[in-house]
């Protein structure tokens, strides 16, 4: 232990990360690695809870994910990055916790109910999908994490983890601390079509996109819907391109864009080009870092092995305590 508070978080490897993932979670992870003892994991078993039929992309997605993490600034010197399925103790703890978790706790999970409706094309009436909060609890308490960085909508997940840890401690003695939700500041990034940015909507700008891809995607972004012609004054406050300007462009350009748009002194085509340039410049150092690691696959392998080993040491120790507490 480093004396720092330990936090744990994971991501399902579903493909390249986009700006929504970057500003919604990853940027916080990067910030936190300086303040906490951070364990970050690739949740490949969790990827199976809803996508159990098509597993062909998981391996490639894991590679893309670690490259995205490194490009955003996660450093193996500052945090522990590991792969869930390499630490078999997660499966053992999941099994043991599943013995003590009442089914109604899982059935009332809001994400469970919501996803069953949202993803009606998939058969989610599986034991694994119902039980994924138990796996999540195992992931978290395995490392005796004191904190879990989450957005407000994920607080119920941390709550169920706390309940499961409490129940375990009640039956077998005090083994696990109850983790707290660390509410992180998040920016909601909308996609080119103004819906939530998401791979499945096909509206995402990826962290790894080239300047050309960015320019092309930005050119298709929806602007102020009332501004039909170049001569019409626009309203930047209802325009997604302007929201992007506020995130990526220098302040003087943001101010200028607002006044010029409102006075119809700038067209949307030029406005988008200017924003795309700054967005590409913002992502340039990330792309460079990604390329660096892409060209050195052995370095990436090494850091994953080192992260897995460190996680494994903690997991083995925890499971020894768990088995002793349960007398098995
Ligand atoms: S000029 Fe820029 S801010 Fe104004 S509506 Fe067009 S894209 Fe949006």
Tell me the per-residue pLDDT of 145-177, one tens digit each, with 9 for 90 and over. Answer: 999 998 887 888 899 999 999 999 999 999 999
- Report in angstroms the alpha-carbon separations of 121 from 51, 102, 130, 132, 196: 11, 28, 17, 19, 20
| Ligand 1 nearest atom to the CA of residue 236, by list position | 3
Q: How far is ligand 1, taken at its centre, from the CA of residue 211, in Å?
A: 20
Ligand 1 pocket test: pick from 217, 225, 226, 242 the residue with the most ligand atoms within 8 Å of its Cβ.
242
Distance 254 CA to ligand 1 centre (A): 11
Looking at residue 51, its pLDDT comes to: 80
Q: Tell if the pTM clears 0.85, that is, is over it.
A: yes
Nearest ligand 1 atom, CA 227: 5
pLDDT of residue 156: 87
Which atom of ligand 1 sits closest to the CA of residue 272? 7
Q: Whose CA is nearest to atom 4 of ligand 1?
A: 261
Cα of 21 vs centre of ligand 1, distance in Å, is 25
DSSP 120: T
- Helix, strand or coil for residue 22? helix
What is the pLDDT, as a whole number, of residue 293? 97
292: CA distance to ligand 1 center in Å? 36
Q: Poorest-confidence range of 3-12, 127-136, 185-194?
A: 185-194
Q: What per-residue string of b and e applies to 301-311 under the rule 16 or more CB within 10 Å gives b?
A: eebbeebbeeb
pLDDT band at 234 (very low <50, low <70, confident <90, very high): very high
pLDDT at 188 (0 to 100): 77
Judge whether 208 and 30 are in contact, CB under 8 Å: no
Residue 2: pLDDT band with limits 50, 70, 90: low
**Cα gap 172→272, rounded to integer Å:** 60
pLDDT at 288 over 90: yes
> In this predicted model, what pLDDT tens digit does every residue of 41-96 receive, in sequence order?
999 999 988 788 888 899 999 999 999 999 999 999 999 999 999 999 999 999 99
pLDDT value at residue 3: 82
**CB atoms inside a 10 Å sphere around CB 228:** 8
DSSP annotation of 153 reads G
Tell how far the Cα of 238 is from the centroid of ligand 1, in angstroms. Answer: 9
Give the atom of ligand 1 at the shortest distance from the alpha carbon of 245. 3
Q: How far is the CA of 225 from the centre of ligand 1 (A)?
A: 10
pLDDT in tens, 192-205: 888 888 887 889 99
- % residues pLDDT > 90 (the chain): 78
Counting ligand 1 atoms within 8 A of each CB, the residue from 190, 217, 261 with the most, and so the one to mutate, is: 261
Whole-number Å distance, alpha carbon 215 to ligand 1 midpoint, is: 15
What pLDDT band is residue 262 in, cutting at 50, 70 and 90?
A: very high
Residue that wins the pLDDT comparison between 309 and 190: 309
In order of 188, 190, 302, the CA distances from 204 in angstroms are 13, 9, 31
Locate the ligand 1 atom nearest the alpha carbon of residue 262 and give its number.
Answer: 4
Query: Is the confidence at residue 211, as pLDDT, over 70?
Result: yes
- Residues at CB less than 6 angstroms from ligand 1: 223-224, 227, 234, 236, 239, 241-242, 257, 261, 266, 268, 271-272
State in Å: Cα 5 to ligand 1 middle.
44
- CA dist 58 and 315 (Å) reads 23
**Which among 225, 233, 238, 257 is the best mutation to test ligand 1's pocket, defined by most ligand atoms within 8 Å of the CB?**
257
E-only strand ranges, the chain: 6-11, 37-42, 79-83, 147-150, 180-183
What residues form DSSP beta bridges with 6?
37
| pLDDT recorded at residue 117 | 74
The residue whose CA has the least distance to atom 7 of ligand 1 is 268
Predicted confidence (pLDDT) at residue 327 exceeds the cutoff of 80: yes
Residues 145/179, Cβ–Cβ less than 8 Å:
yes
Q: What average pLDDT does this structure show over 111-132?
A: 81
């Amino acid at each position: 232990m480093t004396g720092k508070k330990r936090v744990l978080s994971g991501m399902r490897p579903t493909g390249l990360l986009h700006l929504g993932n970057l500003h919604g979670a990853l940027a916080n992870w990067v910030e936190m690695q300086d303040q906490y003892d951070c364990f970050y994991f690739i949740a490949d078993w969790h990827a199976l809870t809803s996508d159990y039929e098509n597993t062909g992309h998981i391996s490639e997605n894991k590679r893309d994910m670690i490259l995205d993490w490194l490009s955003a600034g996660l450093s193996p010197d500052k945090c522990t990055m590991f792969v869930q399925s390499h630490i078999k103790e997660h499966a053992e703890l999941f099994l043991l916790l599943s013995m003590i978790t009442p089914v109604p706790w899982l059935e009332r999970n809001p994400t469970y109910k919501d996803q069953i409706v949202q993803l009606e094309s998939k058969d989610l009436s599986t034991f694994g999908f119902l039980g994924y909060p138990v796996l999540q609890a195992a992931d978290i308490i395995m490392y005796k994490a004191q904190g879990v960085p989450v957005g407000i909508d994920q607080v119920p997940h941390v709550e169920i983890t706390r309940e499961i840890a409490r129940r375990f401690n009640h039956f077998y003695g005090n083994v696990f601390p109850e983790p707290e939700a660390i509410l992180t500041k998040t920016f909601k990034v909308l996609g080119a079509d103004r819906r939530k940015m998401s791979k499945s909507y096909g509206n995402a700008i990826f962290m790894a996109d080239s300047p050309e891809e960015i320019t092309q995607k930005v050119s298709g972004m929806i602007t102020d819907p009332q501004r039909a012609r170049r001569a019409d004054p626009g309203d930047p406050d209802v325009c997604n391109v302007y929201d992007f300007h506020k995130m990526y462009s220098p302040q003087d350009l943001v101010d200028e864009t607002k006044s010029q748009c409102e006075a119809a002194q700038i067209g949307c085509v030029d406005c988008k080009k200017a924003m795309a340039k700054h967005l590409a410049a913002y992502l340039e150092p990330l792309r460079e870092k990604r390329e660096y690691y892409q060209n050195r696959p052995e370095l990436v392998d090494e850091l994953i092995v080192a992260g897995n080993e460190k996680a494994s040491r903690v997991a083995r120790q925890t499971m020894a305590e768990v088995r002793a507490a349960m007398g098995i």
